[in-house]
């Protein structure tokens, strides 16, 4: 079954603020969470659907990707969701870290690494035709001395004696409704479940160090300004064996001296001589793939726009190309010599008025009517 629109899932419009999205999600979570909704057989599926929608729309980068590319995301890849293990996290988020009967859940399991952003400026031509580039990304990586444990070579972290490796401690509370167990992060190990007695001298116990990595980036033909390329797994490394985050490369395109772009169409202005406009004929038109000849009709007026089919930019999702629109401006000659002026006067004297467009004659008639009262 096709996925529903994420905005529809949460019942908000596309201009919803972060506050609107969070509020809508809280209502959905409380309504459909399986732990508080046992009667509705569809509650779990609706709750999971809301989780996935919230994960995307609450993240500005992922939301931008979704608005632009839909469910597939950039580069034809999806965004994923909270997954089966996320229900408790969301329940805790809205109902507190409590569980009846003293139940608790490990909170020091694998965590996905943080996503990274990289801003890259490219030329108009690179965006039109695509290009491969190497980018240097500074990110945290697993320490190769301690293999990410944070402990000195030859030693290992020890299990926390307070939380016994769970990263959490339980605090019992007696209330009018019965006994509840509040689960909070262990202060001794700070939720890690382990304590490093002898820290690694290379990473100082962090298990990670910063490195600059060269990453090969394939920029597709047709990419537009402020679009992003998603590189899965090229972000920060995961914690406690979790997957790495993603790298979002945002593209900005340098302005071109001649061309402007709207979507996949290209626009340019070119001047033509007075005689070319009057007589018509072939003119030379620059395109992103080189110069081409285009035949303009006689009597071409200034600011006339001509369309060159298929001379625009390649579509990101197909082999089709946009069009190029050429607006001509007729240049009136300056600094004429006496002979040229005389020839133009003879030319003007030879005209009967029928040679001009109907709108000029209409304008002159209106002027006569005004002057004649």
The string of pLDDT tens digits covering residues 287-318 is 999 999 999 999 899 999 999 999 999 998 88
- Asked if residue 286 and residue 355 are part of one domain, the reply reads no
- Asked if residue 298 and residue 357 are part of one domain, the reply reads no
Residue where a domain stops, chosen among 77, 96, 115: 96
Q: Is the pTM of this model over 0.95?
A: no
The pLDDT tens digits for 100-154 are 433 334 455 688 889 999 999 999 999 999 999 999 999 988 888 888 888 888 8
As a whole number, mean pLDDT of residues 231-245 equals 87
- Asked if residue 356 and residue 293 are part of one domain, the reply reads no
pLDDT band at 19 (very low <50, low <70, confident <90, very high): confident
Please report, for residues 299, 330, 332, the alpha-carbon distance to residue 341 in angstroms, rounded to integers and kept in the order given. Answer: 21, 18, 13
CB count in 10 Å sphere of residue 192: 19
In a domain? residue 136: no
- Asked if residue 7 and residue 80 are part of one domain, the reply reads yes
Q: Is 80 helix (H, G, I), strand (E, B) or coil?
A: coil
With b for 16 or more beta-carbon neighbours within 10 A and e for fewer, the 66-86 pattern comes to: beebeeebbeeeebebbeeeb
- Asked if residue 297 and residue 348 are part of one domain, the reply reads no
In a domain? residue 286: yes
Q: Tell which wins on pLDDT, 356 or 99.
A: 356
The answer on pLDDT for 255 being more than 90 is: yes
Distance of CA 357 to the CA centre of its chain: 49
Number of structural domains the chain divides into: 3
Give pLDDT, residue 347: 81
pLDDT band at 372 (very low <50, low <70, confident <90, very high): low
Q: Report the distance separating Cα 245 and Cα 234, nearest Å.
A: 6
Give pLDDT, residue 77: 42
- Asked if residue 350 and residue 322 are part of one domain, the reply reads no
Domain, as residue range, for 41? 1-96
CATH number of the domain bearing residue 321: 2.60.260.20
The answer on pLDDT for 234 being more than 90 is: yes
As a whole number of Å, the CA-based R_g of the chain is 34
pLDDT band at 81 (very low <50, low <70, confident <90, very high): very low
The pLDDT tens digits for 270-284 are 999 988 998 999 999
Q: Report the distance separating Cα 8 and Cα 105, nearest Å.
A: 32
194-195/116-122 β-pairing: unpaired
């Amino acid at each position: 079954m096709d996925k529903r629109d994420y905005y529809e899932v949460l019942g908000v419009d596309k201009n919803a603020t972060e506050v609107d999205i969070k509020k809508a999600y809280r209502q959905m979570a409380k309504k459909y969470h399986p732990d508080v909704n046992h009667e509705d057989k569809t509650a779990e599926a609706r709750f999971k659907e809301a989780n996935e929608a919230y994960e995307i729309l609450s993240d500005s980068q992922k939301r931008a990707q979704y608005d632009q590319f839909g469910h597939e995301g950039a580069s034809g890849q999806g965004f994923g969701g909270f997954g089966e293990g996320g229900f408790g996290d969301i329940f805790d988020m809205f109902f507190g870290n409590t569980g009846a009967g003293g139940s608790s859940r490990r909170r020091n399991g694998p965590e996905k690494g943080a996503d990274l952003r990289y801003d890259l400026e490219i030329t108009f031509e690179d965006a039109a035709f695509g290009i491969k580039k190497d980018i240097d990304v500074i990110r945290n990586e697993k320490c190769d001395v301690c293999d990410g444990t944070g402990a000195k070579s030859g030693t290992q972290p020890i299990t926390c004696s307070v939380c016994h490796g769970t990263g959490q401690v339980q605090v019992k509370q007696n209330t009018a409704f019965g006994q509840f167990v509040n689960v909070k992060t262990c202060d001794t190990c700070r939720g890690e479940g382990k304590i490093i007695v002898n820290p690694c001298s290379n990473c100082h116990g962090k298990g990670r160090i910063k490195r600059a990595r060269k990453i090969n980036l394939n920029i597709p033909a047709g990419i537009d300004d402020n679009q992003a390329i998603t590189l899965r797994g090229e972000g920060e490394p995961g914690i406690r064996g979790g997957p790495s985050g993603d790298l979002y490369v945002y593209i900005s395109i340098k302005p071109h001296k001649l061309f402007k772009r709207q979507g996949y169409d290209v626009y340019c202005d070119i001047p033509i001589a007075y005689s070319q406009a009057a007589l018509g004929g072939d003119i030379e038109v620059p395109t992103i793939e080189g110069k081409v000849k285009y035949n303009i009709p006689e009597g071409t007026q200034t600011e006339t726009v001509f369309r060159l089919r298929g001379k625009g930019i390649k579509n990101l999702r197909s082999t089709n190309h946009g069009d190029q629109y050429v607006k001509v401006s007729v240049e009136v000659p300056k600094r004429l010599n006496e002979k040229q002026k005389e020839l133009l006067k003879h030319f003007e004297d030879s005209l009967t008025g029928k040679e001009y467009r109907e709108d000029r004659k209409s304008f002159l008639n209106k002027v006569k009517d005004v002057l004649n009262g």
